[in-house]
Amino acid sequence: MNDKIQSVLNSLPHKPGIYLMKDAQGTIIYVGKAISLYNRVRSYFQESTDLSPKNRSMVAKIEDIEFLVVRNEVEALVLESNYIKQYRPKYNVLLRDDKSYPYIKVSLSEDFPRVYRVRSYQRDGNRYFGPYTNSGAVDATLDLLNKLFAFRTCRYDASSWAIPRGASEAPSGWKQKLLARPCTQYFIHRCVAPCVAYATREEYDAVIKQVILFLEGKHDEVLKELQEKMEHAAEELNFEEAARIRDRIKAVESILEKQRIINTEGQDDQDVIALASGDDETCAQVFFFRNGKLVGREYFILQGTRESTQGEIMASFMQQFYENSLHVPAEIVVEAEPDDRAVLQSWLKERRKTMIAAQGNAAVTISMPKRGDKVRLVEMVKQNAQEVLEQQRIKWLTDSQKTQMALEELQEALNLVAPPRRIECYDISNTQGTNSVGAMVVFEGGRPKNSEYRRFKIKTVEGPNDFASHQEVLRRRFRRAAFKDAHAVPTPDPPDEEGVVTTEQIEESGAEMAHDWTLPDLIIIDGGKGQLSAAMEVMQELHLDIPTVGLAKENEEIFIPGSSEPIILPRTSQSLYMVQRIRDEAHRFGITYHRKLRSDRNFKSALDEIPGIGPKRKQALMKHFGSLKAISAASIDELASLDGMTRDAAEKVKEYIGRLES
């Protein structure tokens, strides 16, 4: 700790406020809030503090601290939000690309208001709905609204179509100017054509009112008004208009049927929030319930969530989301209790109060259900969040523009001669040194090439030794590639259950490890300096000059040979996103194989201990049932029916498995 930080710590007041952590370049790397600045900030530097790896890394980079005192905790929360939005600090949990979320705007300040998409909202007297995360979904919503409600989509100045709003007669000098004819929208019943005075201002305002009610989720009121209009048209013998309104009623009812998920515990407005976390990002999924019906849902991706608690992530998301949200419901149902829950509730109450103009009860409740319908709602929302996270991963990998950008950024960051077309990543998985396996995944052109993934059962290393395990894997992968006179490798047959060939199958077929493959343009080792040094020993031993780097999980630091300082890719860069995806895929692929080996080993060892169960019977049981759980669920008759089994042997198996489970 330097003298500058020590002097700041000595001057901290016992008051609420925010604190700004800065690095050696003066860049703000973290913004936090505190009830007591003295207690909170000093806690980062006390020896007894059990800091997370993320906070330990942050503290190591702090060179200066600034703080601002405020009157209360709610003011601290608001100020913290503003600073996070402005500076986007590295160690704060951040919404990805939060500035680009679109809104739907109803331009009430215009004559004959329009309904259209905008990229930000202003406090200008117009109505805004959002934010939405998908521009395509916004356009689809606008198209749907225009089918249901005939509002104008043109950009004409409508101030001369009718006398000014609120005036009983035309002011002096004002002259009505209408268009010569209505556009196609009128003839396909998507506009009531106020431009040619086919609809009065009052009639058009009624259409816009229905649009707003629909966007607010007040569908019952929309249906009631449409029903009254249809009956009135029928009474006036205007059957053509009544039929058009009837069709709109049916369309609205059809949409509502798709949203008919009812919260049986109440009819108040609710938002339900759940999280699904990946390696360093989290999907926050929000379902919006209005009057007991699901009226919409949105997802948001948060970055920098590794080593963050569920409470911290939930609080950060709620803070950033409701800062820009145009509606705060009376109840927010969450999967995990957010940090500083009481402060959040107070802040949300203030925001809700301003939104409803101090009418009625502005209280906001944040609840974490333990049982009942709300728990099932949370589970449904969480499942959707998990699906979105996986879809985002696949979508990014198939976006050629982003992957090419990522490869070019990697080339520049690692000083490569060209963008790395083929990238191989290696990971080691074990449980306290047992069932150690290595995994190799291959990405070509930024996309996974599953057919060339390989698994390695570690043969020469005892105990949890990542360094030696990486060396064994690399030798087995590249040993034949080091010799120019290698022969072609026959493809082993058959592959395993996932269509992946293991190195054992290759070697048992008399071939060596894939020397006919193109050598990679970049090798990524999952690990830090130690793992990289071990890998470089093998590459030098085999006389291979392939760019090789180590990727440390803790801070996404990239280590290169011969440099003590790691490379830190920009947090929002496509290249960082790519190396994270490749490393995560290697870990997923390796841990799946490791779990299979561990399960097989446990299964085999359990059967070995049963008297009267020899190799043939064991093989029959393994082939037919596949797991101890399946054997336990089987009847004695089912076990006895297998080839080589008897009823006596089946009873012994059931008895032994039963003792293991008790």
Q: Which amino acid is at 378?
A: V
pLDDT of residue 508 exceeding 50, the answer is no
| Residue 298 sits in the same domain as residue 253 | no
CA neighbor of 415 nearest in space, from 558, 578, 581, 584:
558
Comparing 84 with 168, which gets the higher pLDDT?
84
Mean pLDDT of 298-322: 88
Helical (H) or strand (E) element with 525: strand 522-526
Q: Single out the residue in 92, 117, 146 at which a domain terminates.
A: 92
Name the pLDDT band for 166 (thresholds 50, 70, 90): confident
Token pair, residue 253, equals 């009812």
Average pLDDT of 326-346? 90
Range of the domain at 444: 400-584
- CATH for 384: 3.30.420
For tokens 């032994």, name the residue: 656
Instruction: Quote the distance between the C-alpha of residue 182 and its chain's center.
Output: 46
Q: Are residues 277 and 359 in the same domain?
A: yes
**Average pLDDT value for residue range 42-61:** 80
Looking at residue 344, what is its pLDDT? 92
Residue 504 CA: distances (Å) to CA of 92, 477, 519: 45, 12, 21
Residues 97-155: tens digit of each pLDDT: 555 678 889 999 888 999 999 887 787 888 888 777 667 777 877 887 888 888 999 99
Mean pLDDT, rounded, for 604-621? 71
Contact 377, 272 (CB under 8 A): yes
- pLDDT tens-digit profile of 4-43? 888 888 889 999 999 999 998 889 999 999 999 999 999 8
* Listed residues 52, 69, 92: the one ending a domain: 92
Residues 6 or more apart from 144 whose CB is under 8 A from it?
255
Q: What CATH number is attached to the domain comprising 552?
A: 3.30.420.340
How many helices and strands (H and E) does the chain possess? Answer: 21, 20
3-state secondary structure 479-518: CCCCCCCCCCCCCCCCCCCCCCCEHHHHHHCCCCCCCCCC
Q: Could you tell me the two tokens for 496?
A: 């395993």
What's the confidence (pLDDT) of residue 647?
86
CATH number of the domain to which 44 belongs: 3.40.1440.10
Task: Reply yes or no on whether the pLDDT at 217 is more than 70.
Answer: yes
Q: Flag whether 310 is in a domain.
A: yes
Q: Phi-psi region for residue 205, left (φ > 0), alpha (ψ -120 to 50) or beta?
A: alpha
Tell me whether residue 599 is in a domain: no
CA max distance for the chain:
109
Do 536 and 448 share a structural domain?
yes
Residues 83, 22 within the same domain: yes
Between 34-38, 183-187, 393-397, 620-624, the lowest mean confidence (pLDDT) is in 393-397
Cis omega (within 30 of 0) for bond into 520: no
**Are 246 and 257 spatial neighbours (Cβ–Cβ below 8 Å)?**
no
Confidence band, pLDDT 50/70/90 cuts, at residue 461:
confident
CA proximity to 43, closest of 84, 72, 9, 74: 9
Question: Domain for residue 503, yes or no?
Answer: yes
DSSP-H helix ranges across 115-188: 135-148, 184-187
Could you give the dihedral angle defined by the CA atoms of residues 455, 458, 543 and 580, in that order, rounded to the nearest 10 degrees? Answer: 50
The answer to whether residue 137 is domain-embedded is: yes
Tell me the C-alpha distance between 535 and 553, whole Å.
17
What is the pLDDT, as a whole number, of residue 660?
58
Question: Which among 272, 516, 522 is positioned nearest to 415, based on CA atoms?
Answer: 522
Clarify whether residues 77 and 111 are in a common domain: no
Instruction: Tell whether 483 and 580 lie within a shared domain.
Output: yes
Q: Report which of residues 266 and 238 the model is more confident about.
A: 238
Whether 370 and 445 map to the same domain: the answer is no
Token look-up 């053509």 returns 240
Rounded CA-CA distance 250/248 in Å is 5
pLDDT at residue 492, rounded to an integer:
42
Q: Does the residue 526 lie in any domain? A: yes
In a domain, 13, yes or no: yes
pLDDT at 136: 73
Give residue-wise pLDDT tens across range 574-599: 888 888 888 888 888 887 654 555 55
Given this model, what pLDDT does residue 638 score? 84
372, with CB counted inside 10 A (0-12, 13-18, 19+), is exposed
Q: How far is 22 from 58, CA to CA, in rounded Å?
A: 10
Number of domains in the chain: 5
**pLDDT-based confidence at 435, cuts 50/70/90?**
low
Average the pLDDT over each of 42-51, 233-242, 496-505 and give the range with the smallest value: 496-505
Q: Identify whether 598 is part of a domain.
A: no
**Domain match, 198 and 237 both:** yes
Task: Clarify whether residues 384 and 465 are in a common domain.
Answer: no
| Residue 316 three-state SS | helix
Q: How confident is the model at residue 411 (pLDDT cuts 50, 70, 90)?
A: very high
* 184 has pLDDT over 80: yes
| Mean pLDDT within 610-637 | 77
651 and 554 assigned to the same domain: no
Q: Kindly state the DSSP code that residue 365 receives in the 8-state scheme.
A: E
75 and 110 within one domain: no
Nearest to 523 by CA among 506, 535, 534: 535
Averaged pLDDT score across all residues of the chain = 81
On whether residue 603 sits in a domain, the answer given is no
CA 313 to CA 465: how far, in whole Å? 34
44 contacts 25 by C-beta, under 8 angstroms: no
pLDDT band with cut points at 50, 70 and 90 for residue 313 = very high
CB atoms within 10 A of CB 132: 17
In the predicted model, is pLDDT for residue 512 greater than 50? no
pLDDT at 191: 92
Q: Which helix (H) or strand (E) holds 373?
A: helix 373-397
Same domain flag for 563 and 482 = yes
Mean pLDDT of 81-108: 81
* Token couple for 107: 């331009």
- The three-state DSSP-derived secondary structure of 11-22 is HCCCCCEEEEEE
Res 491 pLDDT > 50: no
Residue 421 φ/ψ, nearest 5 degrees: -70, -45
Q: Considering the chain, what percentage of its residues have pLDDT values greater than 90? A: 24
Residue at a domain's end among 57, 92, 127: 92
Angle between helices 615-625 and 574-608 (to 10 degrees): 140
Q: So what's the pLDDT on residue 314?
A: 94
Please report how the helices 310-324 and 73-87 are oriented relative to each other, as an axis angle in degrees rounded to 10: 80
